[in-house]
Structure 1
Amino acid sequence: MPSSKELFFKGPYLRQNWSLPDSIIYSITKNPSNSKAWQKLIQSCKYFFFKNPNFVIRKLSFHCNGKWEISLNKVKIQFSGFTNISCKFWLTYKFDICSCNSTPETVSSLISRLYRCDVKKLILDEQNISFNEFLFLTSNVENIKLRHVIVKNEEGSIVPLEKLVKVLPKIKEFEFYDNFNSSCISKNTVKKLLEISHFSKINEFALFNIPESIDIKEFWNYIKKNKFTKFTFYFQETISEGYKNRVDEIIEAESHDYKIPKINFKTISGEKWEKMVSLLDKHK
């Protein structure tokens, strides 16, 4: 990929005589109101991109082949890295990091290359990021998938799951894979989740690799009143028999006048799984 100067500033140019004061032009250049307006500005005049070199791109992905891919004006471009790219990117729709060939610091190392992140879809695999980086990436997110992602506060403590959900007011679909050795789920997680005003407005909420520490009884009580959210729960294979019995209660209940959650754990019997599938089909 050519550098920003090679791409935009070869050939002759004319000095601009603005009809607006320089202070306003400076403000427009350094603080663009939205991505669509900025896209039009840099297409209409070289000055704006020269003073604030950032591209508006729809998608940014890291693939298993070890290459990055951007979607720009319906054109897809793959490249090996950002070393020779001097401009920054303004992401508007989707940011996706595959765990193959990436490192846990891939996202953190990229943050300085992003001018702004307004994506609606975010998919991260096996990344270690700070809470401030999480906030930067998720300001406009509606659909998020975090697979074995560890988010830490400044002092190094793990950010609890409920805090991640709380800062996602626009979220519609939430999918989270907990880490066995660095869990962000505790006995207070459910209570804290239910205190979040927008939690009841989430369309789909899925948790994988759930530890026994989660208060499943309180979740069941909420689910029985829930008429909106579709829940998915996949538990760790290490959960005790006593805990499994509590999980079985929702499967064995005689009546289900609420949205049936999808439940699974490693040692679930074939009979119970078939009943689970049957309940899900019945309540679609």
Structure 2
Amino acid sequence: MSDRSASNMDLGVPEYIWYHVAKNVSSPKLYRKLVQCSKYFYNKNPILLLHCLLYDNGTWRTCSKIGGKSCGEINGETCSDLKAIDLDEISIKIWVTNVIGAYSLWEDKITPLVIPSTLNSYAVNFEGWDQELSFDQLLLFGGTVKSCYFENVSVKKNDHNEVSFAEIVQSLPMVEEFTFDAESDSSFTSTTVKELLKIPHFYKIKTLKLGNVSDEFDIEEFYQLFLKANKTMEIGIWFNWDVSDIYKQKIEEITKEILESESNDFFPPVLYGIYADGMKLYEKAAKYKSLH
């Protein structure tokens, strides 16, 4: 890091302008360049840049080489060598640049995630298992996320009501790959499809995988209004085993119509369950991908 002060970095620029730049850095990439140029920017606005940050069964872990060259690539892949870090002992701001995740795989029930007020996320990958998030936490993490994986994750508002699946998608404006294994039946409602189709960035998702989908999710409406015209989104849906016989019949009819169609004008969804021929749908979807 350079020892240059603000006064001798550029004689034509007043110090108060450099101060304004230091205090209003808009991204980790810009911040990294600034502190490499001069330690002035770190002194005026100290920020710890973490590449990967995972909450692993009660312990926060991060890359062993914090800030090192080996952790500079923003690729959404979690580093293999992670070490414990006590975030409570860090008083400066913390920015996560690549992956943020929370796991409680050994807990008997989902647990609320507690994060320090100094933490901010610019991560491109967000992963969660057996966690309860607040809606504010989802908004904090979700703005830059391109890949998201939720299994048994519950998102609650301040009134303790659960956030719907459509509201979660709304909170992920950049998402391209989303796997959502529902924590409860209340994630999907009779209005979910209508709400999803009103979200502009929903149509930019490249891969969507849904698990534990209840019969509240209007699969027939989803098929008629979106799936039959979908040409770009790879979709897999695993249905709850407890769906009604009437709902099973709807899935069977949709499956039959897709398999009997000789058209390759839309990307076939893959529907899984004892009442859906998932393997044949998978093969048809794979054929579509190979042709497009």
Structure 1, unmatched stretches of 5+, are 1-7
Which of these residues, 52, 77, 83, is aligned with residue 78 of structure 1?
83
SS in 2 for 1:283: helix
Tell whether the 8 Å contact from 2:55 to 2:103 is kept in structure 1 after alignment: yes
Aligned-partner residue type, residue 260 of structure 1:
P
Q: Determine whether 1:62 maps to 2:55.
A: yes
1:92 corresponds to: 97
Aligned mates of 2:237, 2:100 — CA distance in 1: 25
Aligned mates of 1:256, 1:225 — CA distance in 2: 15
Tell whether the 8 Å contact from 2:4 to 2:40 is kept in structure 1 after alignment: no
Moved more, 127-136 or 36-45: 36-45
Q: Determine whether 1:259 maps to 2:262.
A: no
Q: Determine whether 1:193 maps to 2:196.
A: yes
Aligned mates of 1:44, 1:283 — CA distance in 2: 50
Give the drift of 1:168.
2.5
SS in 2 for 1:33: coil
Tell whether the 8 Å contact from 2:6 to 2:15 is kept in structure 1 after alignment: no
Q: 1:142 to 1:16 in 2, by over 3 A?
A: closer
Q: Which TM-score applies when normalising by structure 2?
A: 0.80
Write out per-residue CA displacement over residues 138-167 of structure 1, whole angstroms, 9 at most, x where no aligned residue: 111111112222222222222221122123
Kindly report the root-mean-square deviation, in angstroms, between the aligned alpha carbons of the 2 structures. Answer: 2.7
Q: 1:60 to 1:245 in 2, by over 3 A?
A: same
Aligned mates of 2:150, 2:101 — CA distance in 1: 10
Q: 1:185 to 1:113 in 2, by over 3 A?
A: same
Percent of residue pairs bearing the same amino acid type: 27
Aligned mates of 1:218, 1:145 — CA distance in 2: 25
Aligned mates of 2:203, 2:88 — CA distance in 1: 44
Q: 1:202 to 1:85 in 2, by over 3 A?
A: same
Tell whether the 8 Å contact from 2:4 to 2:38 is kept in structure 1 after alignment: no
Write out per-residue CA displacement over residues 169-218 of structure 1, whole angstroms, 9 at most, x where no aligned residue: 3221121111226x221000001111222222211111111111111110
Tell whether the 8 Å contact from 1:111 to 1:133 is kept in structure 2 after alignment: no
Aligned mates of 1:246, 1:14 — CA distance in 2: 69
Aligned mates of 1:15, 1:173 — CA distance in 2: 44
Q: 1:63 to 1:117 in 2, by over 3 A?
A: same
1:132 corresponds to: 136
Q: Determine whether 1:153 maps to 2:153.
A: no
Structure 2, unmatched stretches of 5+, are 72-80
Q: Which TM-score applies when normalising by structure 1?
A: 0.82
| Number of residue pairs the alignment of both structures matches | 266
Write out per-residue CA displacement over residues 221-242 of structure 1, whole angstroms, 9 at most, x where no aligned residue: 1211111111111111111222
2:14 corresponds to: 21
Which of these residues, 112, 120, 124, is aligned with residue 105 of structure 1?
112
Give the drift of 1:64.
6.3
SS in 1 for 2:243: coil
Tell whether the 8 Å contact from 1:251 to 1:275 is kept in structure 2 after alignment: no
Give the drift of 1:105.
2.6
SS in 2 for 1:224: helix
1:4 corresponds to: none
Aligned mates of 2:268, 2:205 — CA distance in 1: 15
Aligned-partner residue type, residue 45 of structure 2:
N
